[in-house]
A and B are shown apart, each in its own frame.
Chain A
Amino acid sequence: MSLRSPLGHARGLGSAKTGAHHFWMQRLSAVALVPLTLWFVFSVAQLSGASYTGVLHWVREPVSAVALVLFLTALLYHSMLGVQVVIEDYVHHEGVKLTSLVLSKFAHLTVAAASIFAVLKVALG
Chain B
Amino acid sequence: MSTPTSTPQRPLSPFMLGPYYKFQLTSVLSFAHRMTGIGLSIGTLLLAAWFIALAQGPWAYAAFAEHLTAWYGQVLLAGWSWALLYHLCNGIRHLFWDIGKGYSIPVAYASGYAVVAVSFILTGAVWALALYK
Least Cβ–Cβ distance between B9 and chain A, in angstroms: 12
Counting contact residues on chain A (CB < 8 A from B), the size range is: 35 or more
Nearest Cβ in chain A — how far from B4, in angstroms? 8
Complex Cα gap A11–B33 (Å): 39
Complex contacts, B65 vs chain A, CB 8 Å: 52
Q: Please classify the interface of chain B as helix (H, G, I), strand (E, B), loop, or mixed, using the class held by over half of its residues.
A: helix
- In the assembled complex, which residues on chain B have CB atoms less than 8 Å from the CB atom of A121? 55
With A90-B14, A118-B52 already in contact, the answer to whether A46 and B84 are too (CB < 8 A) is no
Do A6 and B2 touch (CB < 8 A)? yes
> How far, in whole Å, are A52 and B62 apart by their CA atoms in the complex?
8
- Does A115 interact with chain B (Cβ within 8 Å)? yes
Q: Is the CB of B51 within 8 A of A34?
A: no
Please give the distance in Å from A64's CB to the nearest CB on chain B: 12
Distance, CA A79 to CA B40, complexed state (A): 8
Q: Within the complex, what minimum Cβ distance (angstroms) separates B5 from chain A? A: 11
B79: interface (CB < 8 Å): no
Contact of A79 among B44, B55, B91, B130 (CB under 8 A): B44
**B-side interface size class:** 35 or more
- A75 with B44: in contact, given A41-B85, A45-B126 (CB under 8 Å)? yes
**Contact partners of B58 in chain A: CB under 8 A:** 52
CB-based contact B127/A33 at 8 Å: no
Residue contact A118 to B54, C-beta cutoff 8 Å: yes
Indicate if the CB atoms of A118 and B55 lie closer than 8 Å. Answer: yes
A76 CB-CB contact with B under 8 Å: yes
Residues of A contacting B126 with CB < 8 Å? Answer: 41-42, 45
> Is the CB of A22 closer than 8 A to any CB of chain B?
no
B95 close to A31 (CB less than 8 A): yes
Q: Whole-angstrom distance between the alpha carbons of A21 and B17 in the complex?
A: 30
Q: Are A115 and B41 in contact (CB under 8 A)?
A: no
Q: Is the CB of A118 within 8 A of B2?
A: no
Nearest first, the 3 closest Cβ-Cβ pairs linking A and B are A48-B130, A115-B48, A118-B51
Can you list 15 A-B contacts with CB-CB less than 8 angstroms, sorted by A residue number?
Answer: A6-B2, A27-B98, A30-B94, A41-B122, A41-B126, A46-B130, A49-B130, A52-B61, A55-B61, A79-B41, A82-B37, A86-B34, A114-B48, A119-B55, A122-B51
